[in-house]
Amino acid sequence: MTTPQVSVVVPMYNEEPNLPELHTRLTKVLARLDTPCEIIYVDDGSTDGTPQELENLLLQPQPVCVRAVRLPRRRGKTAALSAGFAIARGSIIATTDADLQEPPEVLPMLLSRVQCGEAHLVVAWRQQRQDSRFRVLASRLFNALLRWLTGLSLHDVNCGTKAMKREVAENLGSWMVSDMHRYLPILAAQMGYRVTEAPVPHVARRRGRSRFGASRYLRAVVDLAPVSLMWWRGWGVWVALTSLSTLLAKMHSPLGWAGLAVAMAWAGTALAFWIGKR
């Protein structure tokens, strides 16, 4: 059996309505590439008909290698990606979401930029976002904060469509906890890898619905603590917050004690994360 050179990892949760079209388009795209490919579907504990749809796909002859992983319960996108990375055999690993909002047809462009050595990791940059105004605004603020913090000119760090060298995925393995998937491009850049972005079209979700609730924003803030302290600006903000809060606390201001609590929680979260990684 030919060893795949490209592995495409697709995390999914309750995406039964999208799976047939996704699979048809994805296999057609990969079959046209002049290199052996595999698709790895990771079912993140779906409660609809997604597992049965995957079983049906695996029983049918396919133009490319198709594999599936089923997590026994929902563990989140980071865990699903990690499970896919663990069994991927390609020298290049791509990821894409099952909602079809980023067309599978853009993958060859991302893969070619990694194959030619332009970058170690390429992340898609969604153009003309077809999401709610709140989600678009939250995404813009989040990415603007990360650009200021890191100095990297990336506009859509959390886009689910990416392509990377295998070694990048392997070295990011220890960061694949909580919801750290949204920080993978900037973490790779911090490790010294070349990271770039590629504009791609974005379409409205036609089937199913998004399963990300308000808790995703809280997790993003919590996960930002250890990430932020990898850059000097993150330390600068923490030192400034701690110093100002200490001064206000000495003046018996409630804001001072609140600020100190935030600063200590920030440092404690980062410390706990780094200890857990050892």
What local confidence, expressed as pLDDT, does residue 107 receive?
Answer: 97
pLDDT in tens, 241-250: 889 888 888 8
The residue-averaged pLDDT of 71-76 equals: 93
Side chain identity, residue 25: R
Q: Is the pLDDT of residue 218 over 60?
A: yes
Side chain identity, residue 232: W
pLDDT in tens, 3-59: 899 999 999 999 999 999 999 999 999 999 989 999 999 999 999 999 999 999 999
Count of beta carbons in the 10 Å neighbourhood of residue 255: 12
pLDDT, greater one: 199 or 214: 199
What local confidence, expressed as pLDDT, does residue 142 receive?
Answer: 94
CATH number of 6-210: 3.90.550.10
How many separate helices (H) and strands (E) can be counted in the chain?
10, 7
- Percent of the chain predicted with pLDDT > 90: 67
pLDDT in tens, 138-152: 999 999 999 999 999
Structure-block tokens of residue 1? 């059996």
pLDDT in tens, 163-213: 999 999 999 999 999 899 999 999 999 999 999 999 999 998 887 666 555
3-state SS of the chain is CCCCCEEEEEEECCCCCCHHHHHHHHHHHHHCCCCCEEEEEEEECCCCCHHHHHHHHHHCCCCCEEEEEEECCCCCHHHHHHHHHHHCCCCEEEECCCCCCCCHHHHHHHHHHHHCCCCCEEEEEEECCCCCHHHHHHHHHHHHHHHHHHCCCCCCCCCCCEEEEHHHHHHCHHHCCCCHHHHHHHHHHHCCCCEEEEEEECCCCCCCCCCCCCHHHHHHHHHHHHHHCCCHHHHHHHHHHHHHHHHHHHCCCHHHHHHHHHHHHHHHHHHHHHHHHC
Q: Is the pLDDT of residue 90 over 60?
A: yes
Instruction: Tell me the pairing of strands 37-44 and 65-71.
Output: parallel
Domain boundary assignment for the chain: 6-210, 229-277
